[in-house]
Amino acid sequence: MLTTPSVFIDLPKEFSYELNLAFLRRSPKELLHQVTEHAVRKVIVINGGPVLLEVTSDAGRLRIDVLNKPASRDADFVRNYVREWFDLDTDLSVFYRLARRDEVLAPLVKKFHGYRIMSHPDLFESLIWAVLGQQINVQFAYTLKQRFVEKYGTFVEHGGAKYFLFPTPEVVMNIKAEDLLPLQFSRQKAKYTINIAEAFANGIVSKESLRGKSLLEARDELVKIKGIGNWTANYALMRTFRYPDAFPLEDVALHKALQIQFRMRARPTLDRVKKIFRRYKGWEAYATIYLWKSL
DNA sequence: CGCCAGGTTAGAG
DNA sequence: CTCTAACATGGC
């Protein structure tokens, strides 16, 4: 049997395979990728077909193998996808120079050197995930996502395991809100989820329609959709488009991290958060994920 | 049991 | 523009 050659990506110096893999391992309920000790597997769609990728680390490089349908493998697509997923095109050395002069970030970037913004290349998935995470603890958000993906997503099987794809907007727009209540969605989350799916299915918004826009323009487009507020928009713009200055200003976990790191009596006000973040200008997204990591 | 969780919206002031 | 109530339920 013919084996397809692996795809390799040279890694930047500021990259920790272990730390980023640990992030992907955050919840056992995650169905959209599966992490073993040294590898992560994920299905993506290329030319309409599911392609199961396995990413491993190999001597300073990332090695990608396609486990199913090697015929449909498109090496450039795969390489670009993984570069985006692991945010490999960001030059972290610039951020680290800024962070090392900052008393709060300095120890964090030392301790978590090479930790990156693992992205959500799929904007629809990114937004729905943010909606699921609104106002509830992350563990429960993972429970909701697991039920949602199991019920409405598709999967490929390989070696006896299932590898899921996130439900498409076309499928989600036809769900009735009542059908999501048994999964323990609140009525509000159910409505937002379906509403966002409609916006995607009707072409009102897409990753392509936002590409090239400034952060504020993109944010304003997203916020027009009911269910997407400032927090959700910025979260998705940070995770999906990796705007370096996008960050969820109102985020409770960020406030908690700031309170601890800056030894404040109470949670910071929005004005205080804005003021603090002025020193991270241009790198707000990375400052945020390192602050989150501090928790 | 109580408090809090990676918020958003509609409505009032 | 800012403030508030309602939403809704698991995790700890």
CA A47 to chain centre: 22
The residues with which A49 forms a beta bridge, in sequence order, are A46
Specify the DSSP element, H or E, that contains A291.
Answer: helix A284-293
Residue nearest to nucleotide C12 (CA to C1'): A137
Please report, rounded to whole angstroms, the spatial distance between the CA atom of protein residue A186 and the C1' atom of nucleotide C7. Answer: 8
> Any idea which residue has 């299915």 for tokens?
A201
pLDDT, residue A2, reads 54
Q: Known catalytic residue: A251? A: yes
Give nucleotides in strand B with any atom < 7 A to a protein C-beta: 4-10
Smallest CA–C1' separation from A140, nucleotide: C10
A135 touches strand C (CB under 7 A): yes
| Separation between the CA of A220 and the C1’ of C1 (whole angstroms) | 17
- Among all strands, which nt has the closest C1' to A253 (CA)? B6
CA atoms within 13 A on the CB side of A14: 19
Give distance CA A146 / C1' B9 (Å).
Answer: 26
- Nucleic strand B within 7 A of Cβ A248: yes
* A143 contact to strand C (CB, 7 A limit): yes
C1’ B9 / CA A188, Å:
10
| Rounded alpha-carbon distances, angstroms, from residue A235 to A1, A12, A98, A214, A242 | 45, 25, 22, 15, 10
- Greatest CA span in chain A, whole angstroms? 65
pLDDT in tens, chain A (295 residues): 556 789 999 999 999 999 999 999 999 999 999 999 999 999 999 998 999 999 999 889 999 999 987 666 789 999 999 999 999 999 999 999 999 999 999 999 999 999 999 999 999 999 999 999 999 999 999 999 999 999 999 999 999 999 999 999 999 999 999 999 999 999 999 999 999 999 999 999 999 999 999 999 999 999 999 999 999 999 999 999 999 999 999 999 999 999 999 999 889 999 999 999 999 999 999 999 999 999 9
Cα–Cα dist A155/A165, whole Å: 6
Tokens of A251: 């985020």
pTM value > 0.75: yes
